Structure 1
Amino acid sequence: MADLLGALSLSASGMEAQSARLRHVSENIANADTPGYHRKTVSFRSAVEGEGVEPGPVRLDRTPLTQIYDPGHPLADETGHYDGSNVDLVIEIADAREAQRSYEANLRMFDQARQMSQSLLELLRR
């Protein structure tokens, strides 16, 4: 029974981590057109006692910001350029899909462990 509870805990931590990742991806997509916005990335690390994962610190992507030419923009310098964001929507969509698939895999694992624990409890009641 402890192994089943461990599986539930492990899959729940995976779902929580992927949820945090998806939150940052959606924030990046929402700010893709914000001047000076740096893309946020999150990495995962082992949780305390080695059970599950947790999101690590949020880091800003240090790739150079795109230079946008628009002389009429209020942030434009004397050459007519201003800093855009470094968000690439193709990468963000791919990250969102990967986070979604990982979340679904953890959800299936959680559901299987829950069903197995219910079956075990039914067997013990007999």
Structure 2
Amino acid sequence: MSFNQIYDIAGSSLAAQSLRLNTVASNLANADSAAASADQAYRAVKPVFRAVYEQVNQAGQVPGASVEVAAVVNTDAPVEMRYEPNHPYADDKGFVAYSNVNPVAEMADMMAATQSFEASVNVMNRARSMQQGLLQLGSK
């Protein structure tokens, strides 16, 4: 596996985890948003990842696998209906629709995405360190 492949694989992971962190931020920003109906309420979004496998080339190099974002989908958890008859968005029964974002689950997802991001950065740093070591071997 070449250093370029290592950088490409780690870079795809960085891009995927960045998107994951962005969706978490969007969900947390809308965690307590109200709407006039359940159809208009904010629904949490989650990225769906897919592994992309490389083919073995003529040089016989070891194929790698990278990650890409297949889609960003809305979660299917039900929106929360709260009884608040004095709220401006209250329906005729006094209920207000709130987003289906679970802040605790989002924080756990954020911590996992951060750890994955840091692991990818460490992979890139190790590859760079190995390249520098190889260059120093050639200069002696």
- Correspondence for 1:7: 6
TM-score (norm 1): 0.91
- Correspondence for 2:45: 40
1:53 aligns with 2:67: yes
Q: CA deviation at 1:18?
A: 0.4
Q: Distance in 1 between matches of 2:48 and 2:110?
A: 14
Q: CA deviation at 1:122?
A: 2.5
1:23 aligns with 2:22: yes
Question: Is residue 44–residue 55 contact of structure 1 (8 Å, CA) maintained in 2?
Answer: yes
Question: Is residue 41–residue 58 contact of structure 1 (8 Å, CA) maintained in 2?
Answer: yes
Q: Distance in 2 between matches of 1:93 and 1:3?
A: 36
Q: CA deviation at 1:104?
A: 0.5
1:117 aligns with 2:131: yes
Q: 3-state DSSP class of the match of 2:2? A: helix
Structure 1 runs of 4+ aligned residues shifted over 3 Å read 47-51
Q: CA deviation at 1:62?
A: 1.3
Q: Distance in 1 between matches of 2:138 and 2:13?
A: 30
- Cα deviation, 1:47-92, whole Å, max 9, x if unaligned, reads 4736311122100011110011111112111111011110010000
Question: Is residue 24–residue 40 contact of structure 1 (8 Å, CA) maintained in 2?
Answer: yes
Question: Is residue 66–residue 84 contact of structure 1 (8 Å, CA) maintained in 2?
Answer: yes
Highest Rg: 1 or 2? 2
Q: CA deviation at 1:102?
A: 0.4
Question: Is residue 21–residue 99 contact of structure 1 (8 Å, CA) maintained in 2?
Answer: yes
- Correspondence for 1:97: 111
Q: 3-state DSSP class of the match of 2:72? A: strand
Q: CA deviation at 1:109?
A: 0.7
Q: Distance in 1 between matches of 2:131 and 2:8?
A: 13
Q: Distance in 1 between matches of 2:136 and 2:66?
A: 28
Question: Is residue 8–residue 114 contact of structure 1 (8 Å, CA) maintained in 2?
Answer: no
Percent sequence identity over matched residues?
37
TM-score (norm 2): 0.83
Paired residue total: 125
Q: What residue identity is the alignment partner of 1:64?
A: P
